[in-house]
A and B are shown apart, each in its own frame.
Chain A
Amino acid sequence: EAAVTQSPRNKVAVTGGKVTLSCNQTNNHNNMYWYRQDTGHGLRLIHYSYGAGSTEKGDIPDGYKASRPSQENFSLILELATPSQTSVYFCASGDNPYEQYFGPGTRLTVL
């Protein structure tokens, strides 16, 4: 019944490789978000979307792209992964001005 799901849950990638993180929501929310979580930084916004076909840059977009092909799906793409992108990534959905609902997270390790 989980409303926001992410895949994969764990990923090991090599430096310079391409990584795609996927998110699906069944909340029928217009807005979706990608965050990364690192110790001492809380959650930082990478990209977000207001609806299918739209993507916006968040606070730390460098090195990331996003794609929103449908209301339900929102992907985060690392074209050339680097070790500094090792982190835990969370997807969320939520319409303004209310709370967001988070997925379970994806742990990405870039070697």
Chain B
Amino acid sequence: AQKVTQTQTSISVMEKTTVTMDCVYETQDSSYFLFWYKQTASGEIVFLIRQDSYKKENATVGHYSLNFQKPKSSIGLIITATQIEDSAVYFCAMRGSALGRLHFGAGTQLIVIP
């Protein structure tokens, strides 16, 4: 069975600082894909970044980057130079070899304080 766990319910940080959100996953699949999504206050869900399990390099998109630690089944999301508009709920998700099915964590609420 596949499972995604986000233990941090809520995080508060000061604007312009760096924050890391944790995510651990369980899977029996040898190849899998990890995703982070952002849900804004309006409810919109936006794809942020993806890590393919067979890639050793950590993915980076804009001020989002990943800390992929495969031996620990961990995929942390790092946001540098946080902005007020980064305040949102962040979801970690995983897709294994089963076609198309995403498994989501419960989410972490990020509050950026000006």
CB-CB under 8 A from A98, the residues of chain B are: 33, 50
A94 adjacent to B105 (CB under 8 Å): no
Given contacts A41-B106, A88-B43, A99-B47, contact A48 B101 (CB under 8 A): yes
Given contacts A33-B100, A94-B100, A96-B100, contact A42 B105 (CB under 8 A): yes
Which of B33, B50, B100, B104 has the most chain A CB atoms closer than 10 A to its own CB?
A: B100
B25 at the interface (CB under 8 A from A): no
CB-CB under 8 A from B113, the residues of chain A are: none
Main secondary structure on A side of the interface with B: loop
B13 at the interface (CB under 8 A from A): no
CB-CB under 8 A from B104, the residues of chain A are: 42-44
Give the Cβ gap from B51 to chain A, nearest Cβ, in Å.
11
- Choose among A44, A96, A97, A104 the residue that contacts B43 (Cβ–Cβ < 8 A): A104
- Choose among A58, A95, A99 the residue that contacts B50 (Cβ–Cβ < 8 A): A99
- The docked-state distance in angstroms from the alpha carbon of A33 to that of B44 is 16
A105 adjacent to B100 (CB under 8 Å): no
**Chain B 30-71 against A: per-residue CB contact (8 Å), 1 yes, 0 no?**
000101010000011111001010000000000000000000
Give the Cβ gap from A66 to chain B, nearest Cβ, in Å.
14
Give the Cβ gap from A87 to chain B, nearest Cβ, in Å.
12
- Choose among B52, B100, B106 the residue that contacts A31 (Cβ–Cβ < 8 A): B100
CB-CB under 8 A from B91, the residues of chain A are: 42-43
A101 at the interface (CB under 8 A from B): yes
| Residues of B that sit less than 8 Å from A by CB | 33, 35, 37, 43-47, 50, 52, 91, 93, 95, 99-102, 104-107
Give me 26 A-to-B residue pairs in the complex whose CB atoms sit less than 8 angstroms apart, sorted by A's number: A31-B100, A33-B102, A40-B106, A41-B106, A42-B105, A42-B107, A43-B45, A43-B91, A45-B102, A48-B100, A50-B99, A50-B100, A90-B45, A96-B95, A96-B100, A97-B52, A97-B95, A98-B33, A99-B47, A100-B102, A102-B37, A102-B46, A104-B43, A105-B43, A105-B44, A105-B45
